[in-house]
Structure 1
Amino acid sequence: MVIGAAIGGAIMYGIISFFGPGSPDTFDEKNIQLRADDLKIVAYGKKVYDENCASCHGVDLAGEANWRERNADGLLPAPPHDETGHTWHHPDAVLFALTKYGPAKMAGDGYKSAMPGFEDILPDTDILASLSYIKSRWSKEIQERHDQINQSAAQ
């Protein structure tokens, strides 16, 4: 697994720990928890984000200009992942699924999106690390509101 080679066993254990019991191949997607408070996961997540997400969503997480308006090709530009966007409005499990499977697959009904699913590109641990990095960049207030969204989604 790429992450194990890149950051070593101790951090790998920390990343797998937010899957709960079992291996990365058997974790329950409903019990996903981002770890914006874990500096090792966040640091690794920044590397994953920079290599796989920043080209569209920006190194500063600001997204593309006019992200709410469709381009001439009918696709929406990449939204911001900072506090000005809508990323934090979704619970962890939804963010994970959108990243892993892509918006088109999640929305269905022929929805088109420029964003690919990363299920064949990144291991789940890398997806979770990149999302943890994104969450770590939000203010404490937004992180707390996001935690409340997660609690509501779990009920």
Structure 2
Amino acid sequence: MRRAATIGAAVAAFTAIGFAVLAQSESDEDLVDGLSFLGDPVTAADIAAGETLYAENCASCHGAELEGQPDWRRRLDNGRMPAPPHDETGHTWHHSDRNLFIVTKGGVGAVVPGYESDMPAYEGILTDDEIADVLSYIKSTWPDRQREFQAEVSANDKGDL
């Protein structure tokens, strides 16, 4: 009786380990090579969700193709800056993951107190995971050179969220 219980427990443990390994290998296949956000690996599903959220929340200002508003380097009549591009022609890739997350969640004023911007804060509109997905989608569109530069900037940013 005791031997049967031990064998049964061993079979259950090996089955659980097998399922865990299978689940891990399936999720590893979905990882986007070389892409992470705040140190966490990014999956194809994260990018797909981010693309949808970007279209719904960001594209009206930053462009459907991440191209930004025209003359984005020149102030508008109201003194504010137009929405910059998020593709490789803009400056988004110059900023760390932490900085991009804070600006998206809290607005530009969260990083530069008192700065007036048309960029809304997405806290209460998007969850932290949704913000990470949007930013992962944006990063996924950059050429390797910009991605590598931005990854180094992120690795050197030791601040807290």
Band of TM-score, shorter chain = 0.7 to 0.9
1:75 — aligned with what?
A: 80
Work out whether residues 34 and 131 of structure 1, in 8 Å CA contact, stay in contact via their aligned partners in 2: no
Deviation at 1:34, TM superposition (A): 6.3
1:138 — aligned with what?
A: 142
State the secondary structure of the residue aligned to 1:84. coil
Deviation at 1:68, TM superposition (A): 1.1
Are 2:43 and 1:64 aligned?
Answer: no
Are 2:94 and 1:89 aligned?
Answer: yes
Q: Which ranges of structure 1 fall in alignment gaps of 5 or more residues?
A: 1-9, 15-30
1:48 — aligned with what?
A: 53
Aligned AA (1:106): V
Aligned residue pairs total: 125
1:36-86 superposed Cα distances (whole Å, 9 cap, x missing partner): x52110001000000000000001001001111111111110000011111
2:30 — aligned with what?
A: none
Work out whether residues 41 and 132 of structure 1, in 8 Å CA contact, stay in contact via their aligned partners in 2: yes
Counterparts of 2:138 and 2:57 in 1: how far apart (Å)? 13
Distance 1:33 1:54, change over 3 A: farther
Work out whether residues 72 and 81 of structure 2, in 8 Å CA contact, stay in contact via their aligned partners in 1: yes
In terms of fraction of residues, the more strand-rich structure is 2
Counterparts of 1:80 and 1:34 in 2: how far apart (Å)? 25
Are 2:124 and 1:153 aligned?
Answer: no
Q: Give the alignment's Cα RMSD to 1 decimal.
A: 2.0
Q: Which ranges of structure 2 fall in alignment gaps of 5 or more residues?
A: 1-22, 28-36
Higher relative CO (Cα under 8 Å, sequence separation at least 6) belongs to 1
1:22 — aligned with what?
A: none
Work out whether residues 34 and 92 of structure 1, in 8 Å CA contact, stay in contact via their aligned partners in 2: no
Counterparts of 1:90 and 1:81 in 2: how far apart (Å)? 11
TM-score, normalisation: structure 1: 0.75
TM-score, normalisation: structure 2: 0.72
Work out whether residues 38 and 154 of structure 2, in 8 Å CA contact, stay in contact via their aligned partners in 1: no
Of 109, 112, 121, 2:116 maps to 112
Counterparts of 1:61 and 1:95 in 2: how far apart (Å)? 15
Task: Look at both structures and tell me which one has the larger radius of gyration over its CA atoms.
Answer: 2
Counterparts of 1:147 and 1:106 in 2: how far apart (Å)? 20
